[in-house]
Structure 1
Amino acid sequence: MSQQVVLPGFYLHQLAEVVAGYGVNTAEWLESLQVPQPQADNNAMSLSWEQFRQMVLQACELTGEPSFGLLVGQRLLVNTHGILGYAAMNAGSVRQGAELVEKFLSLRTDLVRVEVEERDDDYRLHFIERFDLGDIRQPVLEAIILAIKNVLDFIAMADANACTVCFPFAPDADSGFLQSLFRCRVQYQQDWAGIHLPKELADKPLLMANSGSYRDALEICQKELEKIQQNSSLTDRIYRLMLSNNNSFPSLELTARYFHMTPRTLHRRLQQEDTSYKDILDQVRQRLAIQYLDSGKMTVQEVAYSLGYSEVANFRRAFKRWHGIPPSDYLKQQ
């Protein structure tokens, strides 16, 4: 499945503006990547995964800035996120704003999804890659999470200082710089990526809440989401369905029923998109296998079981086909 990255032109425009600030001729640079000049508006731009990946990698190289993602993220304030940002500005609580992000983040980016997790006094926005971001994982996650933290800062005002931001990799910036950007505690080399906040902050009424404006914005968000879902390929929709179910993958028959078609019709439609149910399931398993192993919390046997393999040997063979080495060797390299 060829991955397309869809982002508002404004986001890519800000990325190019950061690069331009380092004296780079961005028109020539973007032309070499065969990327159209991004406009400072919220119209969607679609790039191939490789175009987007090279854009981020070369931006980091051209600027020589290890914290490039953070420099982009700091430019993405609440008023840059279109109708989603407007809805958040009128939310009645941080919880309501967080649930907006969880449901409608795909209106702004399909690179990650958000799961709101709540346990006792623990309230988290957990950012999960929709597919393996590979060598641009750090700048992308830093940019997106800082952008969402900017939203929380606006709607919760000074109370957002009580948040903690977590990243699953080592920092490329000093603590003072990070504090100036996030205005809260930042922890790197954690086992997850996201924002943690006290539950009392999540439920505190917001001063700027406007229930009428919120309902109107929510209705527009829902219509926009339905439009995206209708226009996306069947392959993408099944891929996302499987990811949302994690280790409880629906069978071909159940998947067909979910999309209101027979298994034969589903198979034919996927053939027209040069893929199959089996191929999509294989890609989802491949992605989740790396995610589970990288977490360091699961054994090879547990990963195999979680991915629906009845025999560990079958998982080992599949992993070696994907990555050229057995999962045990991958763990040793990690």
Structure 2
Amino acid sequence: MEDPQKRFALSLLAYAAQKDVVPERLCQSANIDLQELKTQSGESLTQKQLSNLWRNAVQLTSDPLLGLHFGESLQLAALGIVGQLVQSCATVGEALTQAAAATHLITDLFRMEVTHTAQSFTIRFVPNEPVDPEFAPLLRQLLDLFIVFVLHEADGLVLKKISPKTVRFPFDVPDPAEYERILRCKPIANSGEYALEFENRYWHEPILTANYELQNLLLKQVGALDRDFENAKALPDRIRHFLLANAYLGIPSLEQLATHFNTSPRSLQRRLQDEGMTYQQLADSVRKSLAMNYLSSGKYPVKEISFILGYNELSAFSRAFKRWTGRTPVRYRQSAT
């Protein structure tokens, strides 16, 4: 069965090749086997491999706005079965709803949310927090790409040029004129979110390639991909996802976690050791990601962050954070804000 992430990575390689970048060189720099990528065999790509692929593509193409420009040229076919599902939908609104439900098959760095009112509809691209700082540049490139891609592919689905009401970014836009050219409206910087807003009249716009029978078949295939996606996750990834999704409850003990995964603490620890780690290492990794995210946001006092992460003493949190990053929490916050 196809791997949407690998298909997407191949599209990036093809785009880079148009810019005179040798695909083999890009793959080698990211520790990716090009042959496995072409045949969609072997293990799924890791976030680190994808991050290295993008970082080196930006460097070798000398294009800091690579995501923006790649999105301008990307075709729905690059998304494989997800793209086919979008094309089979009856209306723009239905296509966006299906695309939002399948975004996780392409990337686990963010999710796509669609809200609809009587006046307009908004597509938000929401990072799956906390974002490890190592992958922040990858996230920004991907979000630029998907904002442009959604806009330009909507044109192809309805055979007319669509202009958004607003396009919002949570950062200073580095080249406002280029963003405005591609997005057809002035970008709103420092808005706190990645979002596209359209007039409501486009929601019910019919899609010319709609095919109800094909859509039913594709939905079954996407459902099978979903199951494979979940089953293929390594145990550390599943635990990490659970810890991050329930971070507001604090980091559970090994015994509490084992109960959730319907196993004994001893069996869970043994399975993690087979993967080359302990629960303590995994929990510390999650605490580190959460701590860096909370500190960077500037919304929480350091003492409160310490309590949220399960430390009884602020000094214990400070020692742990310095061990992880080489800096105290206060120093890290000062450098991040």
User: What's the TM-score, normalizing by structure 1?
Assistant: 0.78
Contact 1:14/1:75 (CA < 8 Å) preserved in 2? Answer: no
1:12 aligned to 2:35?
A: no
Deviations 1:272-314 (A, max 9, x none): 1112333222212221222223233333234334434454443
**Equivalent in the alignment of 1:125:** 124
In 2 relative to 1, CA 281–37 (structure 1 residues): closer, same or farther, beyond 3 Å?
A: same
Structure 1 alignment gaps of length 5 or more: 1-5
Report the number of matched residues. Answer: 325
RMSD, aligned CA? 3.6
Amino acid at match of 2:11: Q
Alpha-carbon distance, 1:146 to partner: 3.1
233-242 or 85-94: bigger deviation = 85-94
User: What's the TM-score, normalizing by structure 2?
Assistant: 0.78
**Equivalent in the alignment of 1:57:** 55
**Equivalent in the alignment of 1:296:** 298
**Equivalent in the alignment of 2:107:** 109
In 2 relative to 1, CA 227–9 (structure 1 residues): closer, same or farther, beyond 3 Å?
A: closer
For 1:295 and 1:168, locate their aligned partners in 2 and report how far apart those are by CA, in whole Å.
Answer: 12
Contact 1:8/1:43 (CA < 8 Å) preserved in 2? Answer: no
For 1:318 and 1:64, locate their aligned partners in 2 and report how far apart those are by CA, in whole Å.
Answer: 39
Deviations 1:13-41 (A, max 9, x none): 33233333333444455446553337997
**Equivalent in the alignment of 2:230:** 229
**Equivalent in the alignment of 2:204:** 205
Deviations 1:190-219 (A, max 9, x none): 433x224369579x4341365554443222
Contact 2:164/2:184 (CA < 8 Å) preserved in 1? Answer: no
Contact 2:295/2:302 (CA < 8 Å) preserved in 1? Answer: yes
Alpha-carbon distance, 1:67 to partner: 0.9
Alpha-carbon distance, 1:233 to partner: 0.7
Structure 2 alignment gaps of length 5 or more: none
For 1:64 and 1:107, locate their aligned partners in 2 and report how far apart those are by CA, in whole Å.
Answer: 29
In 2 relative to 1, CA 331–28 (structure 1 residues): closer, same or farther, beyond 3 Å?
A: closer
For 2:318 and 2:310, locate their aligned partners in 1 and report how far apart those are by CA, in whole Å.
Answer: 13
Contact 1:166/1:186 (CA < 8 Å) preserved in 2? Answer: yes
Deviations 1:44-96 (A, max 9, x none): 77445554433322322222212112222223333321222222334466665
Amino acid at match of 1:14: S
Contact 1:159/1:201 (CA < 8 Å) preserved in 2? Answer: no
31-40 or 226-235: bigger deviation = 31-40
Amino acid at match of 2:124: L
**Equivalent in the alignment of 2:72:** 74
Amino acid at match of 1:105: T
% same residue? 25
For 2:258 and 2:93, locate their aligned partners in 1 and report how far apart those are by CA, in whole Å.
Answer: 34
Amino acid at match of 1:230: N
263-272 or 44-53: bigger deviation = 44-53
For 1:268 and 1:205, locate their aligned partners in 2 and report how far apart those are by CA, in whole Å.
Answer: 53
Contact 2:67/2:144 (CA < 8 Å) preserved in 1? Answer: yes
Amino acid at match of 1:205: H
**Of 73, 83, 86, which residue of structure 2 is paired with 1:85?**
83
For 2:289 and 2:155, locate their aligned partners in 1 and report how far apart those are by CA, in whole Å.
Answer: 33
**Equivalent in the alignment of 1:3:** none
**Equivalent in the alignment of 2:20:** 23
Matches within 5 A, 1:187-206: 187-192=188-193, 194-197=194-197, 200=200, 204-206=203-205
For 2:256 and 2:90, locate their aligned partners in 1 and report how far apart those are by CA, in whole Å.
Answer: 38
Q: Which secondary structure does the structure 2 equivalent of 1:8 belong to?
A: helix
1:36 aligned to 2:33?
A: yes
For 1:304 and 1:96, locate their aligned partners in 2 and report how far apart those are by CA, in whole Å.
Answer: 44
Deviations 1:109-145 (A, max 9, x none): 23x1316376988855233156421444432332244
Q: Which secondary structure does the structure 1 equivalent of 2:263 belong to?
A: coil
For 1:246 and 1:119, locate their aligned partners in 2 and report how far apart those are by CA, in whole Å.
Answer: 29
Contact 1:9/1:42 (CA < 8 Å) preserved in 2? Answer: no
Contact 1:60/1:68 (CA < 8 Å) preserved in 2? Answer: yes
Q: Which secondary structure does the structure 1 equivalent of 2:34 belong to?
A: coil
Deviations 1:212-246 (A, max 9, x none): 54443222212101112112211111111222223
Q: Which secondary structure does the structure 1 equivalent of 2:242 belong to?
A: helix
In 2 relative to 1, CA 226–32 (structure 1 residues): closer, same or farther, beyond 3 Å?
A: closer
**Equivalent in the alignment of 2:220:** 219
Amino acid at match of 2:110: R
For 2:84 and 2:310, locate their aligned partners in 1 and report how far apart those are by CA, in whole Å.
Answer: 41
For 2:136 and 2:211, locate their aligned partners in 1 and report how far apart those are by CA, in whole Å.
Answer: 41
